[in-house]
Amino acid sequence: MDRGGCQMTGGGGGSGPIDGGGDGGMITLEDLESFSEDQLSDSGNGSLEDDDEDPDRLLHYWQDVARGHQVQVANEMAEPIQQLTSNNNGRGNREHIPFTLLSRKEKCGDLLYEKRHYEKGHWACITMREETYEQSICYGFMRIMRYICQQNTLGDYLGMSLPIVTVVRTDENRSVIAQEVTVAYYLPTDHQAQPPQPLDGEIVIEIWPAAVVYTRPFTGPTNELTIVDQINAMAELLESPSVCVNDSFIVAGYTNPAHSQRQNEIWFLERR
Domains of the chain: 7-26+97-269 (3.20.80.10)
Q: Give dist(CA 28, CA 73) in Å, integer.
A: 13
d(Cα 22, Cα 30) in Å, to the nearest integer? Answer: 18
**Pairing mode, strands 211-219 and 110-118:** antiparallel
Q: Cβ of 268: how many Cβ atoms within 10 Å? A: 26
pLDDT number for residue 80: 75
Q: What pLDDT is stored for residue 199 in this prediction?
A: 96
Alpha-helical (H) ranges within 72-189 are: 78-86, 133-149
Bridge partners (DSSP) listed for residue 17? 7
Q: In Å, how far from its chain's centre is CA 243?
A: 25
CB 154 within 8 A of CB 148: no
Q: Which residue ranges of the chain lie beneath pLDDT 50?
A: 1-53, 91-92, 257-258
- pLDDT tens per residue, range 26-62: 444 444 444 433 433 343 333 323 344 456 777 787 7
Q: How many CB atoms sit inside 10 A of residue 2's CB?
A: 8
For residue 131, the model assigns a pLDDT of 80
Cα-based distances in Å from 195 to 4, 25, 94, 148, 202: 19, 27, 17, 11, 16
Residue 18 DSSP code = -
CB–CB of 113/216 below 8 Å? yes
Q: Would you state the pLDDT for residue 88?
A: 61
CB 129 within 8 A of CB 180: yes
pLDDT for the residue numbered 196? 97
Helix, strand, or coil (residue 221): coil
What is the rounded (10 degree) CA torsion for 95, 97, 103, 108?
A: -60
* Residues near 111 by beta carbon (within 8 Å), at least 6 away in sequence: 104, 105, 217
Residue 79's pLDDT is: 77
Q: pLDDT (tens digit, 9 = 90+) per residue, 126-167?
A: 998 888 777 787 788 889 989 998 899 999 999 989 998 988
pTM, 2 dp: 0.76
Helices (H), the chain: 29-43, 48-53, 56-67, 78-86, 133-149, 224-237
Enumerate residues 6+ apart whose C-beta is below 8 A from 200: 126, 143, 146, 147, 151
8 A C-beta contact, residue 182 and residue 26: no
Q: 224: how many CB neighbours lie within 10 A of its CB?
A: 15
User: Is residue 135 within 8 Å of 146, Cβ to Cβ?
Assistant: no
pLDDT at site 94: 81
